[in-house]
Each structure stands twice: as C-alpha cells, then as structure tokens.
Chain A
C-alpha cells in the first residue's frame, strides 16, 4: 500500500513538473513572431511521417543512422512496457498484462529485450564516438562544457535504464525458475528472450529475499529513470525526441532558395514609387527590420532552437566551418535557445513581462563575423534530420545589421551603391549591358 502511494505521488509530481516546463517552453516559443505554417496539412503529415517518424534524412549517414535507430525503436517500443509499469504501480499488481496476453506478452517483452540489447550497443558506440573516437562534429568548440556533459548524461542514463530493465526481468526469471514468483505458484519461465538466459547467469545464486530486492530495484529504478528522463528533457538537447515531430510538421515547404520578402519593406518601397499607394496601416508599434534578439524571430525559428539536438550535421557540411571560419550553424541554434531560455527566465522573474537586460542575441551570443561568413548555400538546412533552418536566422540578423545598424562590411556597402547607381554590383554602366553582343 505504501508503495502504491509513493508511486502515485512520484508519478503525479513528475508529470505535473514536466507539464509545467512544457507550458513554459511553449510560452517561450510563442514570444516569436507569427508565421503561417498550418497550410497543406496532408503534405505536412506525410513529411512528418517520412522525416520524423521514418528518420529518412538520418540515413544520409548510415552508421550513426542505424545506431540511432536502435535507440529510437527501443525508446518507442519500451513505452508499451511503461504502460504496464504504470498500471502495476497504481494498482500494486505484478505484470498485470501477462494473464491477458499470454504468449503475445512473452513476444513483446522479448522484443523489448532484444531492442534493449541493440540500444545498449548503440549507446556504447555513441559514447565511444564522442569520447574515444572523437568524431570531428561531436567535439567542436561550441560543445565544450555543458553541451558535452549533457550528451554524456543522456547516454549514461540510457545505459542505466537498460541495466534496470534487465535487473527487473532477470531477477523475475530466476524467481519464477525457483518457484518464488508472484505470478505463479509453480516454477517455470517467462521465456523472455534475453533475461531467460541472462537472469540465471547474473542472479542465479541469490536468495529469495535478495532476488525480490534486485527485482524491486530494477522496477523502481526503471520508474525513476523514466520520470527523471522526462523532466530532464526540457533542460536538455534531448528534447528533440518529442519536438522533432511538430518541428518537422511545421517545416518550410517552399523552395529553399526562396527567402521571405519583408512586407514592411514592401509597403515602404510601394510608397516610394507611388506616394498614393494603398498599403495596410501599421499597428503603430515601431518596426524593426531583421532580427536583433529572439523576439524578432518567428515562433518556428524558436521551435527550431529547442528541437536542435546538437548533432552537428549542419556544421560539418557548412563550407564556412569546413574552411575554418567562425560560423557554425549548430552554434547559431544553440545560442538562439540559450538566449531564449535567458529571456524566459527574465519573464518568470517579472510576472511574465520581458524587462530589457541590455543583452541581445546579436552581439552577446552571435558575432557579426559569424554571420558574415555565411554562403547562404542551404547545406545546413539540407542536412538537418529534423528540418531546422539556421540560414533564415542568419539572414534575419544580416538584415538587422544592414538596415538598422548600417554595419555591413565596406565592400558590401560598395556593392549596394553600385547596384543603386548602375543596376549592377560592379561599377559598370547600365547602358553598356549589351556590349557582349558586339564583341
């Protein structure tokens, strides 16, 4: 009875805390400006199925894709077992689904166990790639400190979780074998694919009371890890396991080369061409061209930042980064998220209102040098397995630097002047545009 109460309190507290954090993340994302991404629902569902659920873009790099698939499928299938764990926790039963499902139960748990072994292999491989093999994109400077720790925490957490699963099932197998099980008077086996073998090897010599303790540690450990993991997500890059789905759903469906045309600029330009032009009235708020801080970005760009799991495929394909420039598209996303979290914390302290802290995304997090190194080649956008668009953020910040700060590099200002005066980025006369035909 005590166990049921503890379980319900823990599970309730974990769920409430997680929900509160999700609400906060949602509020932070909605600081962003409006952008319509609700059109073409059928196409969006299809894209989400292929790219998020189907991991299509992951398979551009097969080795990490397969390792990742082990963890991904294990994660999804283990949720079935979680339903039973919650049911058992609330009712005080033990393996409640077993009598109803029979052979199918054995099949499901065996499937989970095999996936858990594969996930274990995947996790060890991932730890090695980060810490021993030092795969270049996983050891770049923007990962120093917390991001590196975060990644290793998650992997170690996954290993721990898998160990708890096998403690639980392994000890249960031995209990059953010795006729001490809660599920049956007689002795026998659950027939679980891995722990049927592994259980006796690890726990075969333990006494009945020790086995019950091991089994309970496994069960409670599993519960605690799941709740801990869930509540760690909103603070971690690992939030992608949930946000990948909405983020891909709300992807940009248009040609990657198509940049937005700023409507505020269109209205100004129309008035310049024709002072009597009819333009929609502004809402009175002072407008800012481009982005200086996170609130100047769209909610989708902010959702992108929370979704980023810092895998670095973008950075490893970025021509600027490959050639040693300061720009890293991954850092653009990490900085955007860090600043957004900071802005959110300021809002928490001021009853939901943002109070200027004298800082901004541009300057305090992202430097002009990074932004001016971009080739706008869309490699980062193409690479991202969850359809994050770092390029659009870079362009918005360039717009701010050019149109609000007039801080473009000198050569670019010369290029602007040439276009204005001669209709070409170089100093050639527009009247000479057809000279090639006479040469």
Chain B
C-alpha cells in the first residue's frame, strides 16, 4: 500500500471544497509502469509541499493528442469536447500535468473548443513551489553528479519552456551539462507525432538511438527528462548501448524526490 495522499475531483466536490490545482495524470502516467513512478514522484512532491490538488481518476480520458498528431481531428475533438465537459463541470481553473503532450493540447488546443485553463508543466509548478519556499532542495544525493537534460519537443520548441526544468535542477548542486542540440535546437526522442504508437518508417537508425548517443557522449550519471514518452525512448536508447547500469534516465520530479529522500 502506498502512503500517497490522492483525492479525486469527485471527492472534493462531494465535500464542497475546491483544490488549488488539478493534476492531469495523462494516459502514460496512469498506465505505463515506468511513467506511473513519475506520477507517484509528482504526487510525493505535491504532498510534501502541502499542495491541495485533485485528480480526475476514472473521469480522466486521453486529451486526444496522439490522435490529432496522427491526423485524426475527429477523434481529437471528440476527446476534447468530452474532457472539457468534465473539466468545466468541476469549474477547473488550473491544471498541472507531467506530460508535455497533454500540456500542449490542454493549453493551446482546448481554448477554442471552450476549455480555458491555466496549464503548467510539473517542472513549472515545482519551480513555483521552490520560489515560494513551499519546498526546499539543498543538494542531496545528486550533489556533484553529472546530469544532462533532454528537452521534450512539446515543452521546449512547442511552448518555449526551457528554463523551468533547468532552474529546478540547479538546486540539486549537480553538474548540469548541455548537449549540443539542446533547448530550441533539441533533437526529438523519436516518440512525437504519434510515432510512439507505430513502427518507425524505414531508415538507417532509430531516432532514440541517435539522441541517446548524443547524451551518452557527455558521459553523464543521469539523463534527465520531463516527458514520459521521452523517458521510454531514452531508456530504450540507454539499453541499446548497454549502459543502463551506469546511466539513469530520470524525470526531473524523480530527481527531486530522490535528492530529498521523499
């Protein structure tokens, strides 16, 4: 059994209370075994900082992002309309999510369909909690370790969020290293555009191998990510090079949790 404090929106509603923020878990965060650990890490941080948050639980459904990137606009808008009905029903104002794809869709593509929310990525929320002193990080188990951050396309280029994950990680007192292709020039992990759900087209290399190779060239202890799909792709890449013993692939939220021993 876990000691996480998780309350659903329905439970808040029944008590007549309103949470500070809705945590949009996303499909990967709900079902993928690796991504579920990230979800729990985010919750640990929220619990630790005493953030009054809710989840939708079984009322949450895919934002429609993979359908939209694959060209299925019908399915996307069906999903969006359903989700907006639920979100507006609970009068949701602010959403935090651990998935840049959910983030982008909720933030940019829901408004014109009637869903207007303040949407933040979990690294932005953590940065905010740090700034407000609601959590503190001083070094910890990653002190002096070499960490490189892989920018998720849908957080970085798609929404120009480059600094939040880096500013959060500065508190780890680790050695942050940049790949040549970083920030606006970051290379995709290979999962975007619905590639996660299909075989790659014919080529001479996998995109995640190309990207992981670049990260491994820096000889890092940790490749930090901010997206459950990037996590899968880079983890597979590290396995491809048989480096999984030496190099960890961790979400920024997991770094904070491990550094603080939460």
The interface of chain A, by Cβ under 8 A from chain B, is: 60, 254-259, 261-262, 265-266, 268-270, 272-273, 289-290, 317, 319-320, 322-327, 369, 372-379, 381-382, 395, 397-403, 408-409, 411-412, 414-416, 419-420, 423-426, 428, 430-439
Contacts and interface: CB of A to CB of B under 8 A. Distances in A.
Contact of B203 (A290, A325, A378): A325
Contacts of B159: 255-257
B193 A268 contact: no
Which of B67, B71, B160 gathers most chain A CB within 10 Å? B71
A408 B70 contact: yes
A290 B193 CA distance: 16
Which of A273, A289, A369, A437 gathers most chain B CB within 10 Å? A437
A395 B188 contact: no
B58 A430 contact: yes
A247 B95 CA distance: 36
A320 B62 contact: no
Nearest to B206: A323
A315 to B, nearest CB: 14
A430 to B, nearest CB: 6
Contacts of B200: 323, 325, 373
Contacts of B205: 322-324
Contacts of B153: 375-379
A270 B64 CA distance: 16
B124 to A, nearest CB: 14
A330 to B, nearest CB: 17
A426 B36 CA distance: 15
11 contacts: A255-B107, A290-B71, A319-B188, A322-B205, A323-B204, A379-B187, A379-B188, A419-B67, A432-B31, A433-B30, A434-B30
A401 B73 CA distance: 11
Contacts of A378: 153, 157-158
Nearest to B207: A319
Interface in B89-124: 104, 107-109, 112-113
Given A415-B66, A425-B62, A268 B74 contact: yes
A301 to B, nearest CB: 16
Contacts of A323: 200, 203-207, 209-210
Binding site of A, secondary structure by majority: helix, strand, loop or mixed? helix
Nearest to B157: A378
Contacts of A435: 30
A128 to B, nearest CB: 25
A333 B187 CA distance: 21
A434 B58 contact: yes
Contacts of B2: 437-439
B71 A437 contact: no
Given A290-B71, A416-B72, A411 B58 contact: no
A315 B71 CA distance: 22
B140 interface: no
Nearest to B71: A398
B201 interface: yes
Nearest to B37: A436
Given A255-B108, A323-B206, A434-B8, A395 B36 contact: no
Which of A374, A420, A423 gathers most chain B CB within 10 Å? A423
B198 A425 contact: no
A389 to B, nearest CB: 12
Given A431-B58, A432-B31, A439 B70 contact: no
Contact of A399 (B25, B71, B113, B206): B71
B158 A424 contact: no
A270 B198 CA distance: 30
Contacts of B72: 399, 402-403, 408, 416
A252 to B, nearest CB: 12
Shortest beta-carbon contacts, A-B, top 3: A257-B158, A398-B71, A324-B204
A269 B25 contact: no
Contacts of B61: 423-424, 430
A118 B6 CA distance: 67
Contacts of A255: 104, 107-108, 158-160
Contacts of B202: 324-326, 369
Contacts of A436: 25, 29-30, 36, 39-40
